[in-house]
Structure 1
């Protein structure tokens, strides 16, 4: 694949390792924070040690819990709280929902206005012009990689869609990735988030915008996910598996932010807007059929496309077999989804009658632009129908 130049952007600083959460309070103080908006998942008690650590350094904190995936309304509420309380820093501690909410709140607190002023697709799409409040992002799941991306995905209930608030100004000042935070994670969360991470490694490797830096991260991440995800979910994540999953998630975030994604995430955004469905589980349900349809389309319409040999490379990385064919990798993904109990999209309410509406919305999604090649309406319909 010829290299025409590329850009790589990420959090100002990434700290990785078991026990590194303890460094967060001093890092917040070093960024100039004195009153912190602490954005958490639905259970704020998980952040008790972090809150106490901030307090020991004389930093006050105001808690804002995110119960479910973030919406425009929730971000409005969190931004108002940050402004009213005079917060000068944000710490986002939780899964992708908490991290995305924290990034959006940190941006809006300084830029003014409200989410729809800046949101893609259904908003006014204005550019953020001012740096966000200093933001420290600390993931407690291994899936979205949101700690190193420049966007926040928000649900817009009126439009039944999810769309991104996106700007380089939203990149966290610090990402702390501590694998120990995965200890005790529920099996369903490990499966859903882990499959989200895997899709965010495979899609950038096949992406029309792939580059050598994201390729290296994707290859490393796919190998780590392949050797540890099934075992972590079915047997519980030991220290080695926690490290593998945390790195796979981190690398997936770095890859998607710099090489784009594809049809899996092109569908996942409208599915998440139309139904109350967890993002990672949606991506997992879509991944096998999307890979199969993309592979067939490339062979039929673009047999010299540089993504084609990468399907075989993905298969080798997943199966660990040097002689693996592209189809073997797709079979491996399908069997993994079955082993981890991934349901079809029908369980969230998608009917065959709604497939045309879903296809129309997926075609407009920003992630679809990085798919290896444009898919026809018939191919997109096949993906949606087979993923039910």
Structure 2
């Protein structure tokens, strides 16, 4: 059996989450000192441990990036995980600002998933710090869990992460971050508020839902995928349209001519350069906002280095990993049979930098998470 690639798991534990519940404080926001004085026993680390215990069979394939001490390091080391500490709390008890700083550092470190233990207040902190830039999942450990970013139990959170580590297909969806006003709640008033959305992994919907009137489902999926992508396109952004039939479906939706085996550049609904070379591309993207729209080679999984050498390492770096938009139907991904996507750009260091879990648009507002990068 092939060895799985290393999964970079970010971990944040709010050690004081849920303290207020058992001592009748109706929450823990800004109440850690009083809760401890009343005899509250911290439980967040124990709940984080329950989640991580689900990952022990794949321990050798996981590196945990976390915060010193009670905010993650203690739990990870106690279970024997390879652990890297990126920061520590500025004070004790730790504060919302400590959680936010940690989330920013972990997101910058390129974790494949940010796992955090806490309640709605912790979810608010994470959302405020990183928005939807990184896929997250919450381990429920607070007094109140109104947000949709949490697994139903700590063990369930661990099971979802285990699916990701094993390379199973998981959809990604937006989930609401909600919280109530604890001051009002202590006075008997429930006042909930929406604070934003974050992206979480969810169970994959394997069955395609579109089929009609003699037209193949795959074609309709491509139509839906293309329509959704076009609806998300932004003004004054240069879209570098890679080769292949999936990207061609987007060009068809735009009503634009397409170089099937080449690379075109689209801006504001117009082809501004067709069948470009690597040198021409670099000139077009190095000083302008740009996104790279690509698909994978069916059966092989290559996204760079097979038929799109115009996408040189210099071009890819100029555009940036966060601006790569990967499109493919689920059936195309399933043909890989669990093998990772491959970048063979000609620059091994760049290929390594691109590795990790990536979002793939598979249909109308339908994403999956999939591994990019061959096994180490």
* Bigger fraction of residues in strand: 2
Mark yes or no: TM-score above 0.5: no
TM-score of the superposed pair, with normalisation by structure 1: 0.28
Higher gyration radius (CA): 2
TM-score of the superposed pair, with normalisation by structure 2: 0.29
* Bigger fraction of residues in helix: 1
